[in-house]
Structure 1
Amino acid sequence: MSHSASHQPLPPPSLVQRVSSALLRPAQPADTSARRRLLRLGLAALAWFATGAITQFWPDIPGVAGSASSSDLAALQWLLGLLLLLVVPLYQRLGKAGRWFYRNAPRLTALAVLLGIWQIASAKTGYWRQPYFPPPQGVFEVYFKEWARLLDSIKSSLILLSAGISIGGLVGFLTGLLTGWSRQVGYWSRPVLRFIGPVPATALIPIALFLFPSSFTAGVFLVALATWFSVAVLTWSGVESVRAEYYDVARTLGANTGFQLLKIAIPASLPHVFVGLFMGLGSAISVLVVAEMVGVKSGLGYFLDWSQSWGAYGHLYAGLFLMALLFSLLTTALFRIRDKVLVGQKGDIQW
């Protein structure tokens, strides 16, 4: 073969070759991401449209709670489905909101399916006994009609909870700090923590209602007691876990007792303090609900007790869902504060 023939240009690819190359070429990452977004968000939107159709077009059984609000609930479900569809073309512009919808699309799909099952089993077929298991529109109607009362209950619960946690957290922190720092204080405080601390605060409700002048102050005391024990024990553990070499170096450099407390003991105990606050918050919430049911005639706990006594099961479920959302948000806020204070340990404890 001659030298000139070896450099002749190749013939242009045929149409079949070009189509085959295009089909076999791997998809671009951007195209794959767009298709995945369309699939996830589109499936979630379809689930909400289907659930809305069940709510609107499948007739309710006679006498079921919330039947008058079925159309409103269906419209809300369709609106959410439309919102999910709009996220697909506006994903890049929505920023964090778009990423939130994309990340939670499978959960939103599951939620729509669960609401559809709940709807069919309660309002459409009566498979779940009424009125003990009211349909979603029965709960939705409570939020629409009783919003003022629910807001007042939230306000009362937050006032009682914040007062009790603030007092219990502060006293618990000081108790744990002094117990871990001073042998003289620990000699007296450790038996008290070990003897009184494990006693459930709810067991002291009759005594608290007798000793305190009002049910509100008794409730604050019980919530504070539930918070105090966890914070005190974890702070005590945090102070005692500090290595003795840190104090030796500080004393060698001329640090006084106040400096060692403020710059070594307290910063070292903060991770334990937040764990104690997390545990104390859970205990305080339990005590709060029981105290409101028994003695404090206000708040979400009292709303649940009133609903049960009158057989208003739609109100009962509405209060439970609202309580779960509220206390979950409070726990999330506590972890956000922890991440702000303990920057170096951000994300060590997940919520």
Structure 2
Amino acid sequence: MSGAEATFGVDTAITSQKTATRVSPIAWFAGPVWLLAALLTWRWPDADDFPATDALAAGFAVVGVALLVGAALKLLRERAAWAVALGLGLGAWEVVQAKLLLLPRPFFGTPQDLLDVFLTDWSRLGNSLLHSLGLLLVGYGLGSLIGIATGIGLGRSLRFRYWAHPVLRMIGPLPPVALLPLAFVMIPSSWVAGEALMMLASAFPVAVLTWSGISAVDPAFHDVARTMGAKERFLVFHVALPAALPQIFVGLFMGLGASFAMLVVAEMLGVKAGLGFYMQWAQGWAAYPNMYAALVVMSVMCTGLITLLFRVRDKLLVWQKDGLKW
């Protein structure tokens, strides 16, 4: 490398470092936008007697100050535009509904209504969240284990594949929701019925992708392991499964999404607990802010579980860490 090329490389690195540490101008708009939303919420009279207006204004102000501090400390970079957009969106929602009442109530609530639900009904929301998590983790966990075991059998045993493959093709693609009435009739416990349907929802994609991953393993890997004296157990757990992990995780993600859908349906139609049941109860009493609050909690729960699964995947598949993002 010549001296000019080396100098150019150093200059480029210094310029990139300066660009990375420079605060984007939009970062300085985030705090004022939230502070303006707080001022409008506090000083503009409400069109009706809405709860928690002062608390909402205080919350907007706290976020605005935190964003200003973040901009000063150069912590706001990629998220600065989103902070501005959220501030503008919440401020517009506050003006349109709480101040001008342009949308019909009770179908369209105000930010105050949503905040009031979290302040006054947090215990019921938390209890519903725990019920949903318990139902989901048991059904999804058992379904994933059954799916992985089935995929291993399909990929490694011709006899098992002969008997299991037709059953998988007949039952697997069937939407679990279609079996809901039959499950609640045949299984006396609605909780067990919901678990069984979530197991079916998650087991099918995990089984198919596990089978696909194991079948795609290079036969040379097995030949080398057999040459060194490896038995079938070693071939499964130390050769086939590690090589099939990328495909298995795709199946786990698909199964988790299917379990989310089945969870809500089961809670709305049979299981008398959880966020789905809470939403059904709120809709029956026309408590739409409660329903929206349950949707927010459910979104956070689903996003958190998918993020956790991605963390596990990145930990196990370090060589593919940058291949799939969430």
Q: How does 1:14-53 map to 2 (within 5 A)?
A: 36-37=23-24, 39-53=25-39
* 5+ residue gaps, structure 2: 1-14
Pick from 321, 325, 342 the counterpart of residue 317 of structure 2: 342
Pick from 192, 199, 202 the counterpart of residue 227 of structure 1: 202
Partner of 1:245, secondary structure, is: helix
Match of 1:68 in 2: 51
User: 1:144, CA displacement in angstroms?
Assistant: 0.3
118-127 or 292-301, larger mean C-alpha shift? 118-127
User: 1:220, CA displacement in angstroms?
Assistant: 0.8
Aligned 8 A contact 2:23 2:77 in 1: no
207-216 or 176-185, larger mean C-alpha shift? 207-216
Give the partner amino acid of 2:57.
Answer: A
Aligned 8 A contact 2:217 2:243 in 1: yes
The structure number with the bigger radius of gyration is 1
1:214 equivalent to 2:189? Answer: yes
User: 1:103, CA displacement in angstroms?
Assistant: 2.7
User: 1:253, CA displacement in angstroms?
Assistant: 2.5
Assess, with a 3 A threshold, how the Cα gap between structure 1 residues 33 and 348 changes in structure 2: closer, same or farther. closer
Aligned 8 A contact 1:179 1:186 in 2: yes
Give the partner amino acid of 1:52.
Answer: A
Aligned 8 A contact 1:51 1:77 in 2: yes
Aligned 8 A contact 2:27 2:80 in 1: yes
Number of equivalenced pairs: 312
Give the partner amino acid of 2:69.
Answer: L
What is the alpha-carbon distance in structure 2 between the residues aligned to residue 61 and residue 187 of structure 1? 69
Kindly provide the CA deviation profile for residues 240-289 of structure 1, in whole angstroms up to 9, marking residues without a partner as x: 01122221222223222122112111111111111111000000000000
User: 1:35, CA displacement in angstroms?
Assistant: 6.0
**RMSD of aligned Cα (Å):** 1.7
What is the alpha-carbon distance in structure 2 between the residues aligned to residue 147 and residue 254 of structure 1? 59
Match of 2:161 in 1: 186
Pick from 157, 170, 173 the counterpart of residue 145 of structure 2: 170
After TM superposition, the score normalised by the length of structure 2 is: 0.92
Q: How does 1:286-325 map to 2 (within 5 A)?
A: 286-325=261-300
Match of 2:8 in 1: none
Partner of 1:68, secondary structure, is: coil
1:249 equivalent to 2:224? Answer: yes
Kindly provide the CA deviation profile for residues 145-173 of structure 1, in whole angstroms up to 9, marking residues without a partner as x: 00100110000000000000111010110
Q: How does 1:278-289 map to 2 (within 5 A)?
A: 278-289=253-264
Give the partner amino acid of 2:33.
Answer: A
User: 1:345, CA displacement in angstroms?
Assistant: 1.4
After TM superposition, the score normalised by the length of structure 1 is: 0.85
Assess, with a 3 A threshold, how the Cα gap between structure 1 residues 32 and 253 changes in structure 2: closer, same or farther. closer
Query: Matched residues, percent identical?
Result: 42
Give the partner amino acid of 2:210.
Answer: T
What is the alpha-carbon distance in structure 2 between the residues aligned to residue 51 and residue 35 of structure 1? 27
Give the partner amino acid of 2:111.
Answer: P
What is the alpha-carbon distance in structure 2 between the residues aligned to residue 30 and residue 244 of structure 1? 47
Pick from 159, 179, 196 the counterpart of residue 204 of structure 1: 179
What is the alpha-carbon distance in structure 1 between the residues aligned to residue 71 and residue 212 of structure 2? 51
Give the partner amino acid of 1:324.
Answer: S
Aligned 8 A contact 1:122 1:130 in 2: no
Pick from 131, 135, 138 the counterpart of residue 160 of structure 1: 135
